[in-house]
Chain A
């Protein structure tokens, strides 16, 4: 078929037209694509850039090293140690987690129960979440896993810091312990620090660890990492190390604390040593104690139950949480109240026939035969009850309660310790509010000798003693310095008591120790420069019925432990220029003079001597026993670290 040239011309013109139209359409579409590209890349680039970064950049927190806690000498009493552990990520294990675990069980013990537990956890958690297989590995185990890493896909040996308490039992109550963050902890905190959400993070649960959490925690560091679409880390973009928590120096003397703990032995007891001038708590010891390291590592059920069920309550800090009827140690308050009220003076005396009858009831003195004529000093020296019954009737409970509060009883002392008890300094208003009953005169008599409603903690008794010894409004202090910045407050104000009245009370306490008829004479210090003043107390935990009294008072040894009297003792030394005030309470220990006083004296001597009590400072008859006791003890002397701060303990 031959085409005419005209036809050819026509068809090629048509083709040219259509070709141009097509080119136009194609150009139009290309321009549309270009415009779209421009819109996305130039006009909305920032939005997409943000989305892209959000996709790929994740911020991971670096837990800060917890601040160290030092004792007053600078020795570390709460530190951090390297904790070696292994984690496994399912995604990297190549699917067969069980095979990897079996392989690993040849290096570290994983029993069948633990294996099942782990497999269950792996099936529940995301494939990219690392799961802790074993914690607190020895260096040998850790390095053997590291060496065998190629044969253990997905297994990562990691090291982190965990809390350690080198002094273990000694400071358990003061320091408390840290533990994993619970939902309950989080619910209490407004705006919780995101670092608390880290699975391995621990925070202070009780004691100084809890109360000074803010200072000790430090600030978390940050790692900006790039993650892939599966959420796995590909590389680290930047790293900002966290700021370690502040180093907190306590006023506690770890050596003294250790001595006190061993001196009290297996008794359920508490001892507090205060610096009379500064209020520093040098020792706050409660026995029996527990190992806080067990709580950090996760205490086992049986261990925890045995602590909970122990009738000596090892978990309780008896120095601030335990409140006891102060017994005769409260006579310092009653006497001081009488002197300050002007009801009596140094010369005033009362006659003690062995009892008083008030409101149809007979109130007995501890000495059935009576003490005869007693003045203020003698009343303390011999701890005459009748003297205080007479005094209480004249002073009135409200003035006694007011004096108790001035001396620190029934007042909450602000210390970074857990569950501090307020104690009770009862008065008329208190009883009305508490029991909706009128105050009876008998209540006053009971209160005057520290029985009845009066309750005080060993810390409060030590504060009372320090205030009597110094005449100042001493407040206990537990924190000496934070990051080297001294925290001790300036001079304490004067209590405003008449110095002569204070001197009366101190002289009475001196007589308790040093006069021939003193109730605690056997526990005196014979070294004159450390001359000691004190007051015994024995507080009943049961009412003595008339029938019992008729049969004769049953001796403590015949009673079950929990019904025996509490033994109390407060003291200070040196008498002329007081430095330390000590209080000791031995729960159900029996008599204050026989049980509590020797312990208090020895602790006081340790504080005065700055080490083991010298044998020649106690009466000769007791030296052999003391020496034998010293030999039994495994004493600890704090060693301050050579350099300033370190993360290791």
Chain B
């Protein structure tokens, strides 16, 4: 759809746009963020200054940014999508060249006072460019091999760069996020079947490559795989984190051990408890009630995104909404699956709850576009 296709007259304008925001989504996001504040207060041992307060500031900034972005017309986002994608790609390359070493992986780039994580930015940029691509592409050509190859290249180029950092978690999220947009756009299911087969073959190859000259992953990543497959092999070594996380989670029971009463987190048995493992603290202190309700909130967020997407006749906005929602889904599914021992420990935060600036800002940016799509949908 071109600019003129939008029925401008029927689109809310000016401050009236605020009435057309997807308000349930705003409340759901805020509710999830509140879970984060409470848990960050708890893991800091009753201190707001360490994590909870900065996180609140960021959320408020993110919330304002989201609403501001919602005011930006949809066609602007489509217009900047290719430019944004190329910019993120260049930044990723820049990180490869000048990025600082952090946690054994090159992920950060310093721009003045802020540390930029291009791989996080790419999650949104990729969804954006793919949505724009399928909006532009003739529907009939969607499953044509040549036109399938283009998005595959669009996905694999940043994925490859991220994998070089190396960051397995983000790589997986880029691939799944991209695949969700392609799936929603209507690419033939055969391609997906083929890719899944290929993925199985690839995993086998990766595992086979271990201890050979052409080893594909770093040693620590292999150890994480080992740990995932059987954490009890080395409960005090590599499997320590996941074993302790599961103990914390399971010991929560129905209603948990009480706010600030989780022994596993309080006594430092849990690793990274303010970031990747924050879900276990919630599960330990508030039990099934706390953890389950968070899962329901997340599912509702996805549901509202999908509902908004299905009610949007604008193909770009719809695909964008599904893509952002899908990325968000993959985010929390990987984190929860990881701490519950269903997935290997890949190091991915719990969206909006884990402490971390970039991840939260990127997510709010993404949801700003989702809101924009909601506000500017053809009526």
Minimum CB–CB distance from A438 to chain B (whole Å) comes to: 74
- Any chain B CB within 8 A of the CB of A243? no
Whole-angstrom CA separation of A33 from B284 in the bound complex: 16
Residues of chain B with a CB closer than 8 A to A640's CB:
none
B185 on the A face (CB < 8 A): yes
Q: Which residues of A in the span 1-38 have a Cβ within 8 Å of any Cβ on B?
A: 1-3, 7-8, 10-12, 14-16, 18-23, 26-27, 29-30, 32-34, 36-38
Given the known interface contacts A22-B326, A230-B268, the answer about A15 and B186 at a Cβ–Cβ threshold of 8 Å is yes
A14 to B249, CA, bound (A): 41
Chain B residues within 8 Å of A16, by CB:
310
Tell me, in angstroms, the Cα distance from A227 to B264 when the chains sit together. Answer: 10
Q: For the complex, give the distance between the alpha carbons of A27 and B296 in Å.
A: 10
Give which listed residue, B180, B251, B322, contacts A52 with CB less than 8 A. B251
Verify B299–A37 contact, CB threshold 8 A: no
- Most chain B CB inside 10 Å of its own CB: which residue of A34, A47, A57: A34
Task: List chain B residues, Cβ under 8 A from A10.
Answer: 139
Asked if A228 and B252 make an inter-chain contact with CB atoms under 8 angstroms apart, the answer reads: no
Residue pair B322, A19 in contact (C-beta under 8 Å): yes
**Chain B count of residues within 8 A CB distance of the other chain:** 53
Asked whether, in the complex, the Cβ of B249 is within 8 Å of the Cβ of A22, the reply is no
Question: Is B72 interfacial (CB 8 A cutoff)?
Answer: no
Interface residues of B in 179-237 (CB under 8 A from A): 180, 183-186
Q: Evaluate contact between A45 and B313: CB separation under 8 angstroms.
A: no
Q: Are A22 and B184 in contact (CB under 8 A)?
A: yes
Question: Of all chain A residues, which has the CB nearest B342?
Answer: A36
B100 to chain A: closest CB distance in Å?
28
A56 on the B face (CB < 8 A): yes
Binds A, one of B49-57, B162-170, B329-337: B329-337
Q: In the assembled complex, which residues on chain A have CB atoms less than 8 Å from the CB atom of B268?
A: 228-230
A16 CA / B313 CA spacing, docked (Å): 10
| With contact pairs A45-B254, A47-B250 given, residues A18 and B185 touching in the complex (Cβ less than 8 Å) | yes
> Is there contact, CB below 8 Å, between B263 and A19?
no
Q: A18–B291 contact, CB under 8 A?
A: no
**Interface hit among B23-31, B83-91, B301-309:** B301-309
Cβ contacts under 8 Å, A23 to chain B: 302-303, 306
- The 8 Å CB contact of B248, one of A3, A52, A53, A57, is A52
Q: Is B267 an interface residue (CB 8 A)?
A: yes
> CA A20 – CA B186 in complex, angstroms?
12
Cβ contact of B184, chosen from A2, A18, A37, A226, cutoff 8 A: A18
Docked-complex contact A33 and B333, CB < 8 angstroms: yes
Instruction: Specify which of B136, B247, B250 lies most central, judged by the most chain A CB atoms within 10 Å of its CB.
Output: B250
The smallest beta-carbon distance between A22 and chain B, in angstroms, is 6
Q: Tell me if A41 counts as interface (CB < 8 A to partner B).
A: yes
> How does the 8 Å CB contact mask read for A366-378 relative to B, with 1 for contact and 0 for none?
0000000000000
Within the complex, the shortest CB–CB distance from A452 to chain B, in Å, comes to 72
8 Å CB contact of B299 from A30, A38, A52, A227: A30
- Alpha-carbon distance between A41 and B249 when the two chains are bound, in angstroms: 7
Tell me whether A48 and B251 are in contact in the complex, defined as CB-CB below 8 angstroms, given that A37-B283, A38-B288, A41-B287 are known contacts. yes
* A37 CA / B340 CA spacing, docked (Å): 7
CB distance from B224 to the nearest CB of A (A): 19
Instruction: Encode contact with A along B284-327: 1 for CB under 8 Å, 0 otherwise.
Output: 10011001100100110011001001100101001100100010
Q: Given A11-B315, A37-B283, A228-B268: A26 and B302 within 8 A (CB)?
A: yes
A15 and B185 contacting across the interface, CB-CB below 8 Å: yes
Distance of A590 Cα from B270 Cα, bound (Å): 80
- B interface footprint on A36-71 (CB within 8 Å = 1, 0 otherwise): 111011101101110111011100000000000000
Min CB distance A459 to B, Å, is: 59
Name A21's closest neighbour in chain B (CB-CB): B183
The docked-state distance in angstroms from the alpha carbon of A229 to that of B302 is 38
Complex alpha-carbon distance, A2 and B336, angstroms: 45
CA distance A51 to B251 in the complex (A): 8
Given contacts A11-B186, A14-B186, A55-B263, contact A36 B250 (CB under 8 A): no
* B-side contacts of A38, CB under 8 Å: 288, 292
B253 touches A (CB below 8 Å): yes
Contact of A30 among B248, B291, B298, B340 (CB under 8 A): B298
Contact between B340 and A36, CB atoms less than 8 A apart: yes
Contacts A30-B299, A40-B249 given; does A52 touch B186 at CB 8 Å: no
Nearest CB of chain A from residue B190's CB, rounded to whole Å: 14
Tell whether, in the assembled complex, residue B251 and residue A49 are in contact, meaning their CB atoms are under 8 Å apart.
yes
A234 to B302, CA, bound (A): 42
CB neighbours of A53 from chain B (8 A): 263
B1 touches A (CB below 8 Å): yes
- With A11-B186, A23-B306: A29-B267 Cβ-Cβ less than 8 Å: no
Choose one: A45, A230, A234; the contact of B250 (CB below 8 Å).
Answer: A45
Contact with A along B252-291 (1 / 0, CB 8 A): 1110000000011011110000000000000110011001
Do residues A18 and B253 form an inter-chain contact, with CB atoms below 8 A? no
- Is there an interface contact between B267 and A227, defined as CB atoms closer than 8 Å? yes
Distance in Å from the Cβ of A188 to the closest Cβ of chain B?
A: 36
Per the bound structure, the CA–CA distance linking A22 and B251 in Å amounts to: 33
What residue in chain A is nearest B302 (Cβ atoms)?
A: A26
A228 touching B302, Cβ below 8 Å: no
8 CB contacts below 8 A, A to B, read: A11-B139, A18-B183, A21-B183, A22-B306, A37-B292, A40-B246, A41-B283, A52-B251
Chain B positions within 8 Å of A, measured between CB atoms, are 1-2, 136, 138-140, 180, 183-186, 244, 246-254, 263-264, 266-269, 283-284, 287-288, 291-292, 295, 298-299, 302-303, 306, 309-310, 313, 315, 318-319, 322, 326, 329, 333, 336-337, 340, 342
6 new A-B contacts, CB < 8 A, other than A26-B329, A42-B254, are A34-B292, A37-B336, A41-B254, A41-B288, A48-B250, A49-B250
